[in-house]
Structures are given as C-alpha cells and as structure tokens.
Amino acid sequence: MQPVPVRQASLADLEALVPLFDGYRQFYGQPSELDRVRAFLHQRLTQADSVLFIAEADGQALGFTQLYPSFSSVSMAPIFILNDLFVAPEARRSGAARRLLEAAVGQAREAGAIRLTLSTAHTNTAAQSLYASAGWKRDEVFSVYHYGLPR
C-alpha cells in the first residue's frame, strides 16, 4: 500500500477542508455549521495563524490536522498545539492519521519547536492508541484545567 500523500493546505483547499472540519466538530458533539466552518477556516488560512495539513488520495480529501504555534515560557522556546486531527470514517485505517501526525512533527521540527501538545477525549481510545504507537506520551506531571467564558 502506498503511503497517503499529505501536504500543507492552502486557501485553494478550503472547500475540501470544510466537510472534514465539520465532521470533526460533529464527532465532538457540535452541530453541522458549514458556513461558520468555512468562515473559520478561511480566516485561519488567510491570517496564517495556524498550519493546516491535508491528506489526499486519488483527488479525495481524507483528513486534516491543524497546528497552532505557541511558546513555552519556562523553556523560552516555540511549541505547537496540535488542536485538530480528523480522518473521514471511510478513510480510517488507511494510514492517513499517522501521516498527518508525521507532517505535524516535521513542521514543528522545521520551526525549531521543542514539543507538540495535543488533547483528546478520554473516550477516544482509537486516537489514544494511535498517539501512543506514534511515540506520543501521556502527560503524567500536569493536570489540565479550562475556564469557560460565556459568549
């Protein structure tokens, strides 16, 4: 089996990314909102405040990942937050997710980052297995807290 091709996405990929990103949001219990998804991704791509990678095969978009640059104050070095990773259900087990993770790691290395960070639902055991098999380590030192702000 040929490795799934992955490349950095551009504004030309917007329409291919929209249903994938919408599917990602639905996976986490959000309603389908194609217009909002399109606007959000358009903003990310035009403002270049994130890095998006797209996995494709035979002209079909299979999945994506999105990285947000940040910094570690303690280390005084760049880091990346792998905020989103999604592969369409019909493309799972194709190697697309692993290739997207590899692209993310390559981007971070190229940018001189000292680490990548991600989080996933406790119930997303399939993703957790993938991350562990790809060399990602579960944090055993820090607890993560969130403070929600009303919109």
pLDDT tens digits, 113-135: 999 999 998 999 999 999 999 99
Which residues are bridge partners to 81 per DSSP? 68, 117
pLDDT for residue 22 is more than 80 = yes
pLDDT at 97 over 90: yes
Q: Are strands 51-57 and 6-8 parallel, antiparallel or unpaired?
A: antiparallel
Residue type for 37, please? V
Q: How confident is the model at residue 2 (pLDDT cuts 50, 70, 90)?
A: confident
Write down all domains in the chain, each with its CATH number in brackets: 6-133 (3.40.630.30)
CA distances from 113 to 8, 53, 149 (A): 18, 17, 29
Of 5, 9, 113, which Cα lies nearest the Cα of 58? 5
Phi, psi angle pair for 48, to nearest 5°: 50, 40
Cβ atoms of 52 and 63 within 8 Å: the answer is no
E strands present in 37-115 = 51-57, 60-72, 77-87
Q: What's the pLDDT at 102?
A: 96
Predicted model pTM = 0.93
Say whether 110 sits in a helix, a strand or coil: helix
- Mean pLDDT on 91-103: 94
Bridging pattern class, strands 116-118 and 77-87: parallel
* Per-residue model confidence (pLDDT) at position 79: 96
Please report the pLDDT score of residue 63 as a whole number. Answer: 97
Q: What is the pLDDT of residues 28-75, one digit of tens each?
A: 999 999 999 999 999 999 999 999 999 999 989 999 999 999 999 999
What is the percent of the chain where pLDDT is above 70? 99
**What whole-number distance in Å separates Cα of residue 101 and Cα of residue 144?**
22
Q: Which residues of 75-105 are buried (b: 16+ CB within 10 A; e: fewer)?
A: eeeebbbbebbbbbeebeebbbbbbbbebbb
Give the Cα separation of 131 and 55 in Å (integer): 17
Confidence of residue 1 (pLDDT cuts 50, 70, 90): low
Name the pairing type of β-strands 116-118 and 6-8: unpaired
Q: What is the pLDDT of residue 143?
A: 86
For 73-78, what is the mean pLDDT? 95
